Chain A
Amino acid sequence: MVKHTRTEIRAAIGAAISSIAPEADWERLDEQVDFRRRLEIDSFDFLRILVALNQQLGVEFPEADYGRLVTLAGLVAYIEAAEQ
């Protein structure tokens, strides 16, 4: 699997979030907070974010792991671990 830098991963997450919540300033978001609630991202849009990241980075996100993917820090860590 292609390994991406943290900057690339963050950029991909940012792009995915921005495509759904263009008004959100995700870079200033608390890394540890559930961004779905903070940005009012519903389950449909959350799935779209995961699909976008899957398509861009090639990482698969099992549904059982969703709980670890709802903060920026968690999402970055998950992708990094998956690419190891």
Chain B
Amino acid sequence: MADFLMPRLGADMTEATLVAWKIQPGDLVFRGMVVAEVDTAKGIIDVECFQPGKVLELVAHEGELVPVGAVLARIEGAEALPVEGSRPRAEESGLVSEQVSKAEKPGVALEAVPDFNAAATASLPKRRLITPRARHLAEQAGIDWAKLPGAGPDGAISAADVERAIQNRSLDAESGSGNSSVQPQRSPGSRMREAIAAAMEQANREIPHYYLRAVVDMTAASAWLRQENEARPVTQRLLPVTVSLKAMGLALREVPELNGFWKEGRFEPGNGVHIGFAISMRGGGLVTPAIRDVDRLSLDQLMVRLTELIPRARTGRLKSSELKNGTCTLTSLGDLGVAAVWGVIYPPQVALMGTGQIAVRPWVVNEQVLPRPLMEVTLAGDHRASDGLIGARFLKVVDELLQTPQALRTNE
């Protein structure tokens, strides 16, 4: 038997409200199964289980505020999961180093989510949180609880809130005054803004960035893509960003100094190449869900991943396993005509690659000025973890790979 603990979903989290259980005592759970929803200041997160087992007891109740590391449930057949090592298969959620607060007692490890990405859920129309008892009370009293202010974290509505509303209603009715019980809520957009602000503030405070820029001749890559897409129906076309992603993934494998994390004063290499892909939200904000093992995916596989991931990131709800720590980030900002992007590294990562628009510009080839499709590739590097030479080596490899696009195609 093992305890299933409240995970730490970000360095500044000390507690979270258990919003809903997705399991009942007696249920069998498997690795990667969403077992609960918890709500932090940064949004609702689907918490996934890491170990198979049978649910014995739900210790925490829905609506309860639970400290990090406290027992949520007891699960039979689950052994404590080591924090490092024994990584699950890529498709299932892997382990991140920012794990459950190293519990002294055996615990079922839960997925941990970096701060910044936890805000993904904050972009969605916010579901109001309410405890079952509060809901029952509100329904009995005929109160529209969705409009009530909640005193719990993130506006969670407790029975006390409902009782207060009932009291206010009778007071209002007595005094004849209007509805005074509704207070303005912070919008989901502003919650995401705050999370981004916190991560970027930390990045600029702690990371001594250096920046490099390379201009890559995209003649070969563009021609190859054009030829490739000519033969494909619109439903199977490849976007140029898949080529950038793959080149970046392979280059990170070759220059591993840029793939990983800066932790406790030293560089910790990433376990695999998992690229956080910056996805902007309509109406502001961005998320960087990681695409796992980019270096081992074919362009078609990458396209499938993006096709599935981007709409969900923008409109749907990301799962905690998708919000895992990427080992490096790609921001692709060329669509609106940006030539180059000077990015801010997402801590604790140590590098970020940016790509601008592929634009036809004059370029000297064999002492002749020719019109060529060019793309500016930039690198922001953490100078604590690497030096400019490493960054230069990385950009050189990216450039070389983009000159032989047919070699990028497969999952080798």
Question: What residues of chain A have their CB less than 8 Å away from a CB belonging to chain B?
Answer: 21, 23, 36-37, 40, 42-44, 47-48, 50-51, 54-55, 60-64
Contact = CB atoms under 8 A, between A and B. Distances in A.
B282 A21 contact: yes
Main SS class of interface, B = helix
B230 A62 contact: yes
Interface string B240-257: 110000000000000000
B170 interface: no
| Size class of the contact patch on chain B | 10 to 19
Main SS class of interface, A = helix
B19 to A, nearest CB: 26
Contacts of B233: 54, 60
Contacts of B241: 43-44
A37 B310 contact: no
A5 to B, nearest CB: 22
A63 B230 contact: yes
Which of A36, A40, A42 has its CB near the most chain B CB atoms (within 10 A)? A42
Contacts of B226: 63-64
Contacts of A21: 282
Which of B240, B282, B337 has its CB near the most chain A CB atoms (within 10 A)? B282
A60 B234 contact: yes
12 contacts: A21-B282, A37-B336, A40-B282, A40-B336, A42-B335, A43-B240, A43-B335, A48-B311, A54-B235, A60-B234, A62-B230, A63-B229
Interface in B205-231: 226, 229-230
A43 B230 contact: no
Contacts of B237: 47, 63
Contacts, number: 39
Contacts of A63: 226, 229-230, 237
B155 to A, nearest CB: 24
A64 B282 contact: no
Contacts of B235: 51, 54-55
Nearest to B232: A63
Given A40-B282, A43-B241, A51-B235, 13 more contacts: A23-B282, A36-B335, A37-B336, A40-B336, A42-B335, A43-B240, A47-B239, A50-B234, A51-B234, A55-B235, A61-B234, A63-B237, A64-B230
**The 10 residue pairs across chains A and B that have the minimum distance between CB atoms:** A42-B335, A63-B229, A54-B234, A50-B234, A61-B234, A43-B335, A51-B235, A51-B234, A44-B310, A43-B239
Contacts of A64: 226, 230
B68 interface: no
A36 B182 CA distance: 40
B339 interface: no
A49 to B, nearest CB: 10
Contacts of A42: 335-336
A2 to B, nearest CB: 17
B359 interface: no
Contacts of A54: 233-235
B143 interface: no
B306 interface: yes
B304 to A, nearest CB: 13
Nearest to B282: A21
B176 interface: no
Contacts of A44: 239, 241, 306, 310
Interface in B276-294: 282-283
A36 B22 CA distance: 41
Contacts of B311: 48
A21 B68 CA distance: 38
B359 to A, nearest CB: 14
A19 B234 CA distance: 18
Contacts of A48: 311
